[in-house]
Structure 1
Amino acid sequence: MILAIDIGATKTLVAYLTNEGKIHFQVKFPTPKKYPEWVSQVTKVLTDNPQDFKIGVVAAPGHIDREKGIASNFGNLPWGEAPIKSNLKPLAKCNIVVENDTKLAGLSEGTYLKGKYKNVLYITVSTGISGALVVDGKLDPELQNSEGGHILLEHEGKLRTWESIASGRTIYQKYGMRASDIEDPKIWDEISYNIARGLYDLLAVIQPNAVVIGGGVGTHFKKYQKPLLKHLRTMENPLVPIPPILGAKHAEEAVVYGCYYLGKTTYDQDNK
C-alpha cells in the first residue's frame, strides 16, 4: 500500500492506494492553522486505520527541501518550516517523500500523456499560478523549484507577477465571481488574455510538446479554451509554435495520483 497525503490550505486528504493505483481508503479533515495540530490529526488517522505501507508521499504547497523532507513558505498556511518527513516516518513506518503539490499534479497529468507527448508543461491556475515540466513521465529536476506564476509582466503601466493578474484569487477580486459562476464570454475573453500572456512567455523558454491547465480555474477549461487559443495564436511566431493546450484529465485527484506515481517510482528504484 502507498500512503498519499495532500495538504491543502483548507483541507488535508489522506489516502491509501494499492500497488495498482486504486484508492483503497481516504479521509479528509480541515487543515489546522498550527502545524503540530496537523501532525496530531494525521497521527489519529494512521492510528485508527492501520496499514502496512511501502512508502509515503506528502504533497505540500510552497518550497520543499527534498533531502530533509521539510516544507516551508506555505502561502495561506502560517506553518513556518515543517519537518514533515521526520515527523511522519516513525508513524507510517516507511520512507516519506515530500514534494510540491503542483509538481505532483503535473506528474500525474504528464504520466497520463506519456507516450503521446514527450515534454508536458503543467500549469495550475488556482488561488495562485504555478507549474511543472514532465519529461517522459518524470519531473524535470532542473525546474523542480520553478515558480512560473512569479514571472513579471507589464499590466496597467506597472510590472506585476503573472499570478497577480490571472489567478483565481484575482478573478474573484476583479469580477466578484468564482470561475464556476462566470458565463459571460467577454469576461472569459479578458481572463484568457491574461492567462495567455504569461503562458506564452513560458512557451518561448520551455518549448513543450503539450500544455495541460489544471487547478480550480483549470477545471472550467472548456469555458475559455477557444479564446485562450485565439490569444495565443495572435502571439505565435515561427520560433515559438503553440502546442496542443489541454484541460487536466484528473483535475480533482491529480495530486493524489501524482503522490502514487512518485511513490511507486521511488520505491521501485530503491528496491531494485
Structure 2
Amino acid sequence: MWYTKPMYVGIDIGGTKTLAATLTNEGVIKESVKFPTPADYDDFIKELAHTVANFATKEFKAGSVAAPGTLDRHRGVVKSFGNLDWKNVPLLRDVEKITGCPMVMENDAKLAALSEAMLLKHKYSKVLYITISTGIGYGLVVDGTIDSNVGDSGGKGILVEWHGKLTPWESFASGSALVRRFGKRASDLNDPKAWGIFAKDLSLGFLELIAILQPEIIVVGGGAGHYLEKFYDELLINLKKYETPMLPIPKIIKAQRPDEAVVYGCYDLAKLYYKEKHA
C-alpha cells in the first residue's frame, strides 16, 4: 500500500553525527534531526528509532540509509564502517523495522554523488564525486545510475606513491590528515604554501581516478572540499602537468549542496527504487 504514503525518509550515518530527514515527493526536506552517532550499534538503533518516532510524518513511501563503509547489498549488511567500530551489522533490516517502509542501503559517498549528478544530469552523463572530509570517499554516477562497483573502500583503497612508497591516499590527503599535518582545519588554514602541498598530494589520487574512470566532470564535497577555492588553482596546475589527448583533465566544481548532499541522495535513490517497484 505504498501509494497512500506521501513522504520519503533519508538517513545519513556519519562517524560523529547522524542526520535523519523526511522529504516530500518533490524532494523538499520537511523535517530533519541531527544526533551524535553512538559508539555502540545497538545504542544507535535505539536513538534512531526514537528520532523517527518523533517525526510528524508517521508513514513513508520508501527510504534510503547511507553508510560510510563496505556493504553487502544483497544481504543488507554493512561489513565494516570507515569511522565506527561496527562490523557485519544488519543495517537494512533494522532501519526497515524502524521506518516501516521499504529501504535501500548505499555507501554515503555514492549517495552524495547521485545527489550532485542529478543536479547536472542535463549537461553531464558521467559524474565523479569526491568527498574530502574526515576521510576520502568517492562515487561514480553514469546516466543517473550509481556504479556500485566503484568506491566502497574510498581513499583507503587507493594506493599511490608518496615519499617513495605506496601509501593509502586517505592517510595523507584527507581532512583529518590536513589537520594533523598543518595544525588547522580547512576553514582556518590560510597558508598558501600549506595548501600548495596539500593540493599536490590530493592530485595523486585525483589522477588515479581520472585515468581509470574518465569522468566528464568532478564534483568536490566534504568538510575540506567545501573550501575548494583555497586549493583549486594549485590542484589544477598539478593535474594539468599530466594531461594528454588520452587523459583529458575534466572540469572540477564544488558541490552545490555540500552539507545535505547525502540525504538528498537518499531521496533520489529511494524515489528511483520506488518507481522501479511500481513500473
CA 1:28–1:147 in 2, change beyond 3 Å: closer, same or farther? closer
Given that 1:111 and 1:138 are in contact with CA atoms closer than 8 Å, whether structure 2 keeps it comes out as: no
**4+ runs deviating over 3 angstroms:** 144-149
Find 1:25's aligned residue among 11, 16, 31. Answer: 31
Given that 1:56 and 1:94 are in contact with CA atoms closer than 8 Å, whether structure 2 keeps it comes out as: yes
Find 2:71's aligned residue among 64, 67, 88. Answer: 64
Secondary structure of 1:141's counterpart equals: coil
Does 1:85 pair with 2:92?
yes
In structure 2, stretches of 5+ residues that fail to align are 1-6
How far residue 141 of structure 1 moved from its aligned partner, in angstroms, is: 3.4
Identity level (%): 46
CA RMSD of aligned residues (A): 1.3
* Correspondence for 1:43: 49
The range that moved more, 258-267 or 106-115, is 106-115
Does 1:214 pair with 2:235?
no
Aligned partner of 1:227: which letter? E
Looking at structure 1, the residues matched to 68 and 223 of structure 2 have their Cα atoms a distance apart, in angstroms, of: 15
Within a 5 Å distance, the mapping from 1:1-12 to structure 2 comes to 1-12=7-18
Deviations 1:189-248 (A, max 9, x none): 111111111101211111111111111111001111111111111121221011101111
Q: TM-score, normalised by structure 1?
A: 0.96
Within a 5 Å distance, the mapping from 1:137-152 to structure 2 comes to 137-143=144-150, 145=152, 147-152=154-159
* Correspondence for 2:246: 239
* Correspondence for 2:258: 251
Given that 2:69 and 2:152 are in contact with CA atoms closer than 8 Å, whether structure 1 keeps it comes out as: no
Find 1:266's aligned residue among 246, 250, 273. Answer: 273
Deviations 1:103-133 (A, max 9, x none): 1011111111112111111111111112111
CA 1:144–1:200 in 2, change beyond 3 Å: closer, same or farther? closer
Deviations 1:47-99 (A, max 9, x none): 22252100121101101111222113112211222211211222211111111
Does 1:136 pair with 2:143?
yes
Looking at structure 1, the residues matched to 37 and 80 of structure 2 have their Cα atoms a distance apart, in angstroms, of: 16
Q: TM-score, normalised by structure 2?
A: 0.94
Looking at structure 1, the residues matched to 233 and 260 of structure 2 have their Cα atoms a distance apart, in angstroms, of: 25
How far residue 144 of structure 1 moved from its aligned partner, in angstroms, is: 5.8
